[in-house]
Amino acid sequence: MRLPEPFQYQTVDANDVRINVAHAGSGHPLLLLHGYPQTHLMWHKVATALTGDFNVVCPDLRGYGDSSKPDSDPEHRSYSKRQMAADMVAVMEALGHQHFSVAGHDRGARVTHRLCLDYPERVERACVMDIAPTLHMFENTDQAFATGYYHWFFLIQPDGLPEHMIGLDPDYYLREKLRRWSASGADFEPAAVAEYVRCFSAPEAIHASCEDYRAAAGIDLIHDRQDRDAGRKVCCPLQVLWGEKGFVNRTYDVMSVWRDYAPDSEGRALDCGHFLPEEAPAEVIKELQRFFRTG
């Protein structure tokens, strides 16, 4: 499965990796970043509708989909959000975009947060979907968080433990993630799910996704604390969307948390679980069009 025409596919050299990218449309560039354990295809119900207003760019993050899965290092810097953000700047430059807006879901939202902090001169407006900031979540860990987000603590285990266990049945693991994190009755396109499974099932992809989470529990927190100590916050307008039936809504005063990190922010809950672009695509399209057209 691919995004339909008018989307075109190409591979972009970005730093030390090759990034699989689909892009289409005209107007202001809008970068859409996927989450775990998916690929750029998670935008398949949303992306085409946005091409009338925006030049839409949908990449696979490093370690995911058909993008490169580089070797890791002891500090997991290869999968830091800082490195992933730098990849996306390189992708946008290769496509001719020096300035752009960005919307990210799940892990892609964490890359979006880092893009806003590291490249304030490039990111004009941003949207994060169904996350609270990584630093806030780790610093406020309790039993409810450890239970609901058990994978954060499972995937960071060393010595190949999660890789081995997931690798025994990656199809089951991925489909269970979709089921457990979505609202009851969520409708996922079978062809898209099959593509997620294809990409995720490769041993190097499982390892890369674990490295993503290991980075989040280590080097990413170092970067986040450095930003906090320096008083750096998201300075562009930020839209925050989250699922009313999901963990984030149950656990956090979402806008209160985000306004500590991004003073110029707005947002609301949508009637869905975690996977907003697939569970509530019409609402997502409406919200993104309204917010990004404003700029």
Residues belonging to the active site: 106, 274
In single-letter form, the type of residue at position 106 comes to D
Pair 133, 233: CB distance under 8 Å: no
Burial letters for 211-237: b for 16+ Cβ neighbours within 10 Å, e otherwise? bbbbbbebbbeebbeebeeeeebbebb
In single-letter form, the type of residue at position 6 comes to P
The helix-helix angle for 219-230 and 203-216 (nearest 10°) equals: 30
Sheet with 265-270: list strands edge to edge. Answer: 8-14, 17-25, 54-59, 28-33, 100-105, 123-129, 238-243, 265-270
